[in-house]
Amino acid sequence: MKNCHKNIIILASGNGTNAVNIINHFSNKNTLSDSNLSNISIKALVCNNRDAPVLNKVKNINKDIKLYCIPFSKTAERASFEEELAGIVDEYKIDYIILAGFMKILSDDFVLKNLNKIINIHPSLLPAFKGKNAIKDAFDYGVKITGVTIHFVIPAIDSGPIILQEPVIIEENDTVELLEEKIHKLEHKMYIKVIELVSCEKIKIVDNKVKIFK
């Protein structure tokens, strides 16, 4: 029988709604099927911002998750941040690094050393509307459909093999705020699904594309 157990860490920078949703799900036995009951061990949450609300939120959800706050607000701090992060990855034998509202760019060197183990979520149907203002950019452009993309991270920003994409229709009466709500609600469902997929190695990268196996 295939060993489906995976150790993950989560990187976040602010409110951490996706991080909190992931931790709530995988900390609550009532939300998990028997097959996923112990597949995922969330070993740590790493935050680059000491004032981020996500730190206290996670502390109140699951005290077994180690919290790390490593300064990284400017490019000059990236090398020391990544050095400490690499130590955490090694210490906990991490299989996947989950970016959940992590607002800094990791170096090409770090990404290449951890290729196919860093996963990111982006609020658009990539490659459309890259960047930090993707929801507003899509809304202002006037597209009728946007969505959510979860992908493996490569050195190019908001790029890499796509694991999962799902659309969100922009209704005539939507505001930016309503669109954000719809996208965040979808993000929460999708990230759980993707983490469950990787936990049992149901995805593989073939010719730079992700294939999902049943």
The catalytic residues are 122
Which one-letter DSSP state was computed for residue 106?
P
Under 8 Å between Cβ of 45 and 22: no
Under 8 Å between Cβ of 203 and 161: no
Which candidate, 105, 102, 111, places its Cα nearest to that of 191? 102
Which candidate, 87, 84, 103, 92, places its Cα nearest to that of 16? 103
**Residue type at position 43:** K
The phi and psi torsions of 60 (rounded to 5 degrees) equal -80, -15
Cα–Cα distance, 164 to 158 (Å, whole number): 14
∠ CA 120-123-124, rounded to 5° = 110
